[in-house]
A and B are shown apart, each in its own frame.
Chain A
Amino acid sequence: MKRLLPAWVKWPQLDLPLLVGLFLLMGLGLVVLYSASGGDIGVVHRQAVRLGVGMVALLVLSQVPPHILRIWTPWLYGIGVLLLLATWFFGTGRATNRWLDLGLIRFQPSEIMKLGVPMMVAWYLHPRRLPPDFLTVLGSVAILAVPAVLIARQPDLGTALLVAISGVFALFLSGLQWRVIFGLAAAAVAAAPALWMVMKEYQRQRVLTFLDPESDPLGSGWNIIQSKIAVGSGGLFGKGWLNGTQSRLEFIPERHTDFILAVLSEEFGLAGVLFLFAIYLFIVGRCLYIAALARSTFARLLAGSLGLTFFVYVLVNAGMISGLLPVVGVPLPLVSYGGTSIVTLLAGFGILMSIYGHRNFIR
């Protein structure tokens, strides 16, 4: 068997539990997607193809040793920043400048930064003595702030915060002192009014709607209300697959993308939600476990940050559809229908697989 491949190609050393977790998640996602799309098998096909492309990215990255990734990191980050600047000038998209049209493919440079920022922060912290001193923290913050600000200007506040938080996680895992953490948290709370000032009108509206969805039940509050009705009416065991009235009768908006968890909650009830959360918790735990196994600071921080960021997606998305958080355009990772984010996420897991596969090498 092995003779079929050149000797230098190593059979991928993948972490089986993590892989099983991912496949469970993707399988469940496709099942829910079939219902959410109103039984449109074409949508399920396209999603499966995307997942396949993402798996290829996962496999490829799993073969790249972490120290090679580390060498690439500044280039990836630099190119990402340049592309973000490019969207500033050449961006396309209906109301926002998120997309960059490269002729053949259109993509969002902010997706690159979902990997680029945690990698760059980890790269930056890697050679330094940890816990980081004040200057190091400042440098890390600068690394994550530049792309975050550029993305926020697009405007895409949700992605900007997610990108920033992936850097923050790397810092946190590097052993940032608790007093600094609390200090920064206090500063963030104090800065909230300033953030309100720079928010766009539609963003303020979302926050206001979140605070009181019933104030505009047919307008911006509609999504939250209908989503909560879907979740609540699901009960313990749900209405059954393909039987969710809220989704089948199109009351849930964006039901195969950002609000797909509402469909799952309605059709599979609390039991389905707990099952899904269990998978997510398992994946995050496994990510942190892999991180702890890693031998280099770069790999540790990167693996931990990717795992925690992945969880933040879940937290924000689930918080949104259950009315705990305002409506922001964050998909349910690996379950929501959607292009680039799936590939980015699976590429991230490719890095984790690589870190797992190369855990026995120093650096």
Chain B
Amino acid sequence: MRLAFARRRPGRRPIKDQVVEARQFSARALTAFLIVSAALLLLVARFVYLQVIAHEDFVTRSVNNQVKVLPVPPNRGLVYDRRGRPIAENRPAYRLEIVPEKIDDLEQLIGELGRMVELPEDALERFQRARRQHRVFDSVPLKFNLSEEEVARFAVDRHRFNGVEVVPYLARYYPYGELLTHVLGYVGRIDEDDLDRLNRAGRAGDYRGTTHVGKLGIERFYENALHGASGLERVETNAQGRTLKVLERQDPRHGTDLVLSLDVAVQQAAWDALGDRPGAVVALDPNDGSVIAMVSKPAYDPNLFVHGIGSADYAAILAAPGRPLFNRALTGGYEPGSTIKPFIGLAGLELGVINDSDEVFSGGEFYLPNVSRPYRDWKRGGHGSVNIYEALEESVNSFFYQLALDLGIDRMHDYLAQFGFGAATGIDLLGESEGVLPSRAWKRANFGEPWYPGETVIAGIGQGFNVTTPLQLANGLATLANDGRRFEPRLLFASKEPGDAQASRNLSPLMAQMPVNDPAHWDTVREGMRRVVYGLRGTARAIAPESGWVIAGKSGTAQVAAQALDEDMDEDTAAHLRHHALFIAYAPFEAPAITVAAVVEHGGGGSAEAAPVARAVIDAWRAQEVRR
């Protein structure tokens, strides 16, 4: 059967010698086996090299491969108001991160992600900028604050996106929005300037893994305390960089919680009292220099800046009337007008230029010798003969024209400087304006001109070169109300380190104790201010409270030079609207607990427009204090 398969050998070919061929084959097979063995030996040599000789090196590389050091960002400290209301919180949120080194075509990827996640137009550009600041193989955030829907949508398609991660984090949130912007400021994404600053301060290491930094306000001023320092985690990761196991952990130092001296209720009262008008309110506790309220209006929502403000939103803020970015309370320079009068009156008494019974006749117009130009009283026909009480109550210009002339500009300057005018108060915020408290030296330095007597006259009613900020006015008044004790105003009321059970109180530094020649002089001025509210002819008698604390105050009207007008004021605007209304007040009269400076821009007369704002703030504070 099997032999049937045998085939005839082709006859034309030479006869094969099977025996010779078999021997030949065996020789070749042996040769092949030797070659195979030699090749295998070569391979073995290679494996010996890798696994024995270079073993240590590869072990190191294998360990480096799997173990990664990851930063653990600290939780930013929370911020509370004086009553414990949270005013800056951390909320759980998600951000989208990319490891650029793992992506082949970034543009295409961002295009695809854009279909699932709403990305701002300039996402790619911003991402590229952020990327330059990152180390290789660190992830770079593409979008912050993903919506729940976006997180869910990405989760479904996640396997398609190697190198893209949704990362949970704590996002800063300001529950009171624009109400506290000008105090709290906000945090924003770390940019190159911030990095430079951190590097110079040697703090870059504390910021590993941190994406946000305080940009403005309290968030900026207390950045170091609020931020804390990043910890580290040695983790085992797979080739995709996913963490599998935490091997070692150095905990981050979480940020310090801060308690601000602000009272949100008082802040809200001030905000509401200003209404639609641009303006500023600063309220201080004269007993310790703590800031109770600090409002600048209009403002803007700080939450917009936390996740990177879009160009449209930013343009809207820039275009909004009243310049919302401008912090009037801290940097707004206003002519103090008549609110300066109590301080000048006290200067006259303390320096012995007048006493409390000296009278000046007010006839409606005041003349310098040999000068024809009249300096007017606000009341046509004048106030008649007035002493300092009446001069304050009725805000008699002529009295202070005369007093200013008698004091002279330099004595006036030196005395008022003790209340902090013309210098930064030293509050715990950056960018404070110094204002201007003029003197001969100042004018020569700034204008190269001599001082003219007429300038002394108007300086007596707070006009001319005088510029003050609402903060300076409030602090100056606090010094007056507090018998010459002047504090550096402080927003930081207390702080609580992580792990501490209780917050520790932060005390405002006492700046200076003014010399008091005769306490009666101080009482005189303060009595004059009480009469502003309670006197028969008091300029602010309209706000006299029926019940509650006795208020002492002083109104003022700042004239706005034509060139200083806002763009939105045109030539036809009624003259009285070109003036800013000012009012300073403290209460209660017997034991001052709050001093307020209120400015209502384009508000006209101080007593009519700004005094009710100050009253509202005082009432709000009293309500809080009484409830306590």
Contact = CB atoms under 8 A, between A and B. Distances in A.
Contacts of A131: 24
Given A127-B10, A233-B62, A308 B25 contact: no
Interface stretch (A137-145, A280-288, A334-342): A280-288
Interface residues of A, number: 59
B32 A249 contact: no
Nearest to B54: A232
Given A236-B52, A251-B65, A318-B43, A361 B37 contact: no
B47 A265 contact: yes
Q: Is the interface of A mostly helix, strand, loop or mixed?
A: helix
A232 B53 CA distance: 9
A60 B46 CA distance: 39
Interface stretch (A82-90, A106-114, A151-159, A268-276): A268-276
Contact of B236 (A129, A249, A277, A301): A249
B5 A67 contact: yes
Given A229-B65, A232-B58, A235-B55, A273 B47 contact: yes
Contacts of A68: 5
Contacts of A295: 18
A146 B102 CA distance: 42
A300 B40 contact: no
A322 interface: yes
Nearest to B62: A233
B36 interface: yes
Contacts of B52: 235-236, 270
Interface in A304-340: 304, 308, 311, 315, 318-319, 322-324
B39 interface: yes
Contact of B32 (A251, A288, A315): A288
A277 B239 contact: no
Contacts of A73: none
Given A229-B62, A249-B238, A127 B55 contact: no
Nearest to B46: A322
B29 A274 contact: no
A129 B55 CA distance: 53
Nearest to B240: A250
B537 to A, nearest CB: 85
Given A130-B16, A297-B16, A270 B238 contact: no
Contact of A231 (B25, B32, B58): B58
A20 B429 CA distance: 84
A230 interface: yes
A131 B24 CA distance: 9
B199 to A, nearest CB: 28
A361 B4 CA distance: 13
Contacts of B36: 281, 284, 308, 311
Contact of B40 (A233, A245, A250, A281): A281
Given A236-B51, A245-B62, A363-B7, 11 more contacts: A130-B16, A229-B58, A233-B59, A233-B62, A246-B62, A270-B51, A277-B43, A292-B26, A304-B25, A322-B43, A361-B2
Interface of B: 2, 5-7, 9-10, 13-16, 18, 21-22, 24-26, 28-30, 32-33, 36-37, 39-40, 42-44, 46-48, 50-52, 54-55, 57-59, 61-62, 65-66, 101-102, 236-240, 244
11 contacts: A127-B10, A127-B13, A175-B25, A231-B51, A232-B59, A235-B51, A249-B236, A265-B50, A281-B37, A288-B30, A315-B43
Interface of A: 65, 67-68, 71, 127-131, 169, 172-175, 218, 226, 228-236, 245-246, 249-251, 265, 269-270, 273-274, 277, 280-281, 284-285, 288, 291-292, 295, 297, 300-301, 304, 308, 311, 315, 318-319, 322-324, 361-363
